[in-house]
Amino acid sequence: MITSATTPGGEENKYTTAANDNTDLSHLEEFSKLGIKLSYVLNEFVNECGGRAKLEGLTTTDVCETFVKTATNKCRTSYCDKLLEEGKQSVDWFDDDSVAVDRATVFISHAWKYEFLHVLSALKDHFKDEPDTIIWFDLFSNNQHKASELPYEWWQNVFKSAIADFDHTVMVMSPWNNPIPYTRAWCIFEAYCNIKTESKFEIAMSAHDRKQFIKDTIKNPEGTINKMLGVINAENSTASNPADLERIFEVIRNEVGFSNINTLVFEQLRAWVIDVAKKELEMNTDEKMRPKLMRMLGTLYFGQGKYEASQPLLEESMEKFRATLGPDHPDTLVSINDISVLFYMQGKYAAAEPLYVECLEKRRGTLGSNHPDTLSSINNLALLYSKLGKYEAAEDLFLECLEKSKYTRGRDHPDTLTSLNNLAGLYKEQGKYEAAEPLFLECLEKRKASPTLGTDHPDTLASINNLALLYKNQGKYNASEPLYEECLEKLKAILGPDHPHTLASISNLAGLYKEQGAYDSAEALHMECLEKRKSILGLDHPDTVDSINGLAVVYKKQGKYEAAEALFVECLEKRKATVGPSHLDTLISINNLAVLYRKQGKYGAAEPLYVECLEKLKTTLGPDHPETLTSANNLALLYKKQRKYEAAEALFEECLEKRRTSLGKYHEKTRTS
């Protein structure tokens, strides 16, 4: 039995080498690949410590200090080397099944602050079909008596090469909702090396944690991902040994940069979550659970902007909920709402509207008019009507939602403030800036003062952004710019420089610089945003395509027509492929390309694009929608350039009358008509 004793020595040792900063790389001690059989750790080692009761509540650091260092105090070697010295190794490593140590095949990444028994439970469940796997676990593989002085070259070459040799990394995360490894510099660096060497990556959880993880993810897929991803910030990570932290940071700065490593690890973790969801769906045969798992996976794809992958899963889950639970069950209505939101994001407004209406009516009937889910449906339908230019219908719903939220939740409740914000957004969309501004200001002040939200909450920052956008639309650039900058700096500090919300803020500031004519500044921000969105969200994500469009607009303003055309064409093709040929974003791309051709005097190329855009907008949004009227005005401008004065005049007059009716005679666009 390993007895408890207080022994000399410092903190835990991750890796051992005889080198120091002045050592030539060729003389560095090789990375030991000696590992320990997992089943030995789970049984013999635990028994040697006096059984599980003796380990209860101890962290891995505690186990190192109390048991591992005690067991190796005489030999002053690693625990694995101790087993070798005691003759527990086989003469032939690869033929003897009884060996306790051997060449490791799996690298274990973990946080020393975790309870040791939690780590063992996670590994036991993860390797339940391969309990004799030889693992490289630093607690046992490293000499815990020997402080290491590791030069920069060791981190850059030797360690990364070792990760490649293992070709399989398992990170212990227990419990899932407290992802300590992603706050530790060592674990982030290990994950980075795994990515760079293209090695297999998995996360180990205990059976209990995995069950809870699936349960929580089913309930709130995006919330689960955001909870895990929210802690990834390499620059804020820590290490017990300051020298280790300094060397890790040096490699990160020189090789990849903090921003990029966050992006890489972010993607690695998100890919793992998707993979877990897919496997759960494949393995689960419970007909009651399968619709929930389909919805979970579909929602995760939706969060990635992978609408084509999301749609069949959400549609099938909706149909199964209808069939098994009935058309009015809350889960069925949640599923109907999900597919409605997907159609809305795809620009399939005609498909979204009847589902939104169905969901709202059934929630009114089953849950009541004041239920939070009913108010959510009212809000969603109002947003759709606003998008369709049905402003009166949208306003009625937004006002209903706001008043009921005030009554049921209180005037300062976060959901009430969201309703207030949405109503302000509708007024802004209509050009009713005087009505919008006081509502935006009220919402911002209440969110700042809210004990639930506060000055740095994402909702509060959204209010700052919305007010900045309003001022930009009014041409109040001096009022807009400091708000955009405040929002961006806070998002960087709170969510990190690579979070999608942060990137949206960068894009917004770039748009302001473009309006101010600061094209070089706008170009730099759009480039930064585009590169990060490509890495984090993917090449075809709607936000990434928005960045392509934003950069193209700047190039057009700069007179870089060839560069602009290439990006406008790329943007158009991606939008056709991802959201469809009739989506509003696609039609905006068609319009943008037509405008570019008109500026270049390529009237023959511009005209069919303008005509296509106008006809599709009439079908999608209706003939009186502001976007449709903008398209008609653009075609009229082209006809004027082509000296087709009669056709131009007819369109100008039609556009003016409809703008007077729908927007009012004082709206900016009406005055320009």
> For the segment 584-631, what is each residue's pLDDT rounded down to a tens digit?
889 999 999 999 999 999 999 999 999 999 999 888 778 888 888 889
In this model, does residue 13 exceed pLDDT 50? no
Among the four given CATH numbers 1.10.10.10, 1.25.40.10, 1.10.1040.10, 3.50.50.60, the one describing domain 579-673: 1.25.40.10
* Residue 149: band (very low, low, confident or very high) from pLDDT cuts 50, 70, 90: low
The whole-number pLDDT of residue 156 equals 65
**Is residue 336's pLDDT more than 90?**
yes
Residue-wise pLDDT for 641-664, tens only, equals 999 999 988 888 888 888 887 667
Task: Go through the chain and tell me how many residues it has.
Answer: 673
- Are 194 and 186 a contacting pair, CB within 8 Å? no
On the question of pLDDT at 21 being above 50, the answer is no
Mean pLDDT, rounded, for 533-544: 83
**422 and 383 in contact (C-beta within 8 Å)?**
yes
Give 276-318 pLDDT, tens digit per residue.
899 999 998 888 999 999 999 999 888 877 888 999 999 999 9
Section 466-479 average pLDDT = 93
Provide the 8-state DSSP code for 159: I
How would DSSP label each residue in 67-123? IIHHHTTTT-S-HHHHHHHTT-S-SSTTT-TT-SEEE--EEEE--TTSBHHHHHHHH
Average pLDDT on 508-522 reads: 95
Could you give the count of Cα atoms lying within 13 Å of 80 in the half-sphere of its Cβ?
Answer: 22
Q: Give the residue carrying structure tokens 């703008």.
A: 659
Quote the pLDDT of residue 458: 84
CATH pick for 496-575 out of 1.10.3720.10, 2.40.10.480, 1.25.40.10, 3.40.630.20: 1.25.40.10
The pLDDT of residue 30 is 65
The whole-number pLDDT of residue 266 equals 81
Treating both helix axes as pointing N-terminal to C-terminal, what angle do 414-429 and 433-449 enclose, rounded to 10 degrees? 160
- Return the domain boundaries, the chain: 33-94+101-267, 496-575, 579-673
Percent of the chain with pLDDT over 70: 90
Region 36-57: what's the mean pLDDT? 95
Look at residues 44, 253, 259 and name the one whose alpha carbon lies nearest to residue 155.
Answer: 253
Q: Which amino acid is at 58?
A: L
* Domains 496-575 and 579-673 belong to one CATH topology: yes
Q: Is the pLDDT of residue 29 over 80?
A: no
Provide the CA 506 distance to its chain's centre, in angstroms: 16
Rounded Cα distance between 631 and 655, Å, is: 9
Q: Rounded to an integer, what distance in angstroms lies between the CA atom of residue 361 and that of residue 328?
A: 10
Confidence of residue 2 (pLDDT cuts 50, 70, 90): very low
Task: Assess whether the previous peptide bond of 175 is cis (omega < 30° from 0).
Answer: yes
Strands (E), 173-262: 200-204
- Going by C-alpha positions, the residue among 659, 629, 655, 625 that lies closest to residue 386 is 625
Q: Looking at the DSSP assignment, which residues form a beta bridge with residue 168?
A: 200
pLDDT confidence bin for 5, thresholds 50/70/90: very low
pLDDT, position 24: 44
Distance (Å, whole) CA 344 – CA 447:
28
pLDDT band with cut points at 50, 70 and 90 for residue 499: confident
Q: How far apart are CA 611 and CA 617, in angstroms?
A: 10
What are the distances in angstroms from CA 252 to CA 16, 200, 587? Answer: 21, 21, 42
Average pLDDT over the chain, rounded to whole?
86
Segment of 35-49, 229-243, 492-506 carrying the highest mean pLDDT:
35-49
DSSP annotation of 568: H
Token pair 């055309």: residue: 565
Indicate the range of 152-156, 196-200, 510-514, 608-612 predicted with least confidence.
Answer: 152-156
pLDDT at 98 over 80: no
Condensed to tens digits (0 to 9), the pLDDT of residues 429-457 reads 887 889 999 999 999 999 999 998 899 88
CA–CA dist 19, 23 (Å, integer): 6
| Residue-level pLDDT at 10 | 34
| Per-residue model confidence as pLDDT tens digits over 160-205 | 888 888 889 999 987 777 778 888 888 898 888 888 888 899 999 8
Q: How far is CA 295 from the centre of its chain?
A: 18
91 has pLDDT over 50: no
Measured between alpha carbons, how far is 256 from 356 in angstroms, rounded to an integer?
Answer: 45
pLDDT, residue 673, reads 64
Provide the residue type at 120 as one letter: L
pLDDT band for 146, please (50, 70, 90 cuts): confident
